[in-house]
Amino acid sequence: EDQVVNGHNEKENNPFAEYMWMENEEDFNRQVEEELQEQEFLDRCFQEMLEEEDQDWFIPSRDLPQGIGQLQQQLNGLSVTDSHSSEDILSKSTLNPDAKEFVPGVKY
């Protein structure tokens, strides 16, 4: 059997072999720090690229004034169909064609 002294076999050349990585610890730390900085730089560049791309797109909720956004939603909900002729709609209408034009916020 091998003789064990201070937790190490006699056949081991260097009893501190498992700690030798500490010799290059500063180089390792520097390398990891550089990789982290590079990743952070790439993340910032990617974020800036996305922000620039967003500015190029037309987004109604962002690019139109507030009231127009609601109007845009209402217009999106409308559909045009040929199933009803304009005469059918007019004959069934209960609206007063002589009424004043509606203006929001104005009381008559």
Distance, CA of 88 to CA of 68 (rounded, Å): 31
Q: Tens digits of per-residue pLDDT, 1-57?
A: 445 555 555 556 777 878 877 788 888 899 999 999 999 999 999 999 988 887 777
pTM for the model stands at 0.36
Please say whether the beta carbons of 8 and 1 come within 8 A. Answer: no
Radius of gyration of the chain (CA): 38
Q: Please, how many CA atoms are within 13 Å of residue 73, restricted to the half-sphere of its CB?
A: 6
Please say whether the beta carbons of 45 and 39 come within 8 A. Answer: no
- Paired with 9 in beta bridges are 4
Residue 84 pLDDT grade (very low, low, confident, very high; cuts 50, 70, 90): low
